[in-house]
Amino acid sequence: MPIIGATTIATPAGGSMARRYHPVDAPVPRLICCPHAGGSASYYFPFSRAMAGTGAAEVSVVQYPGRQDRHREPFLTDLQELARGVVEAVLAGDDGRPVSLFGHSMGALLAFEVALQLRERAALQADRLFVSGRRSPSSPTTENVHLRDEQGLLREVRALDGTGASMLDDPDVRAMILPPLRADYQALETYRYRPSRRLAIPVTAVVGDGDPRTPVDDAAKWGEVTAGDFDLHVLPGGHFYLVDQWPTLTELLAGKLAGTGRVPL
């Protein structure tokens, strides 16, 4: 069931790719948000509302196939293919305003790939990239969570201490959540970064000081994937630090987005 009050950006194929919960009637930048593995657009509802209140940006949140109102669509297990869909949605909604990207965890890597594809495929330079709770793609990873059995997948989710992890004790909830989660982990873990594909825009990285999967030193390496400016912010909390830090995160991003304009190629 579609979420009441949300509008959509349609892909050329007719499916809905992103949600705008709080349209802003002003020429403010567009901020495209990419959720974490297993996540959905509605997770960003409070952030969208808060950002709209600042007047700094209008938030659109990517809704991955296979969840919520897209639950009948097949999952995507290739991050580059998922990025292509996001790019098409961004272009479909292009109205001349500057576009920035934010992604948390898997969403950080997806937002990075979207920024690359926007430039390579459409000659559209994103204004800024915000990455959260994810090591830089320049840091090698050998994770294989998507190949684990159900109990192995559950252990990973609980280790990250995500909001609602206790709900996974319910077999019906597990049956609904684990398949898209596994698909997302496959997309994340099979992605291969090529050092020759670098950005030229400002990148801001944010990480929790107690994140068990993203050491601060690895988050700092996001500076290696862009020729633009880079800054790192460490906030209190674990992998899902943003649950308790939405106000701080909103203030940080609003400050960075203030006065932005479309970046020339």
Residue 123: what pLDDT?
A: 85
Does the structure show a pLDDT above 60 at 4? no
| Radius of gyration of the CA atoms of the chain, in A | 17
Question: Which residue in the list 105, 132, 136, 146 is annotated as catalytic?
Answer: 105
Alpha-carbon 240 to chain mean position: 13
Please tell me the distance from the alpha carbon of residue 204 to that of residue 245, in angstroms, as a whole number: 16
- Torsion angle (degrees, nearest 10) of CA 223, 225, 228, 234: -30
Which regions of 111-244 does DSSP assign to beta strands (E)?
A: 128-132, 203-208, 230-235
Does the structure show a pLDDT above 70 at 244? yes
Q: What is the DSSP letter of 30?
A: E
**Structure confidence by residue, pLDDT tens digits, 47-56:** 999 999 999 9
Beta strands 30-34 and 99-104, pairing class: parallel
239 included as an active-site residue: yes
Question: Which residue in the list 36, 104, 146, 239 is annotated as catalytic?
Answer: 239
- Enumerate the β-bridge partners of residue 149: none
Residue ranges per structural domain of the chain: 7-257
**Structure confidence by residue, pLDDT tens digits, 165-210:** 667 778 887 888 889 999 999 999 999 999 999 999 999 999 999 9
Average of per-residue pLDDT across 37-41: 91
The more confident residue out of 160 and 95 is 95
Does the structure show a pLDDT above 60 at 65? yes
71 included as an active-site residue: no
Of 23-37, 92-106, 154-168, 245-259, the one with minimum mean pLDDT is 154-168
Residue 174: what pLDDT?
A: 83
**Structure confidence by residue, pLDDT tens digits, 105-150:** 999 999 999 999 999 988 899 999 999 999 999 887 777 888 788 8
Residue 44, classified by CB atoms within 10 Å of its CB into exposed (0-12), middle (13-18) or buried (19+), is: buried
DSSP secondary structure of 159-174: HHT-TTGGGGGSHHHH
pLDDT range class, residue 67, cuts 50, 70, 90: confident
**Structure confidence by residue, pLDDT tens digits, 71-83:** 889 999 999 999 9
CATH of 7-257, one of 3.40.50.1820, 3.40.50.1860, 3.40.50.2300, 3.30.450.20: 3.40.50.1820
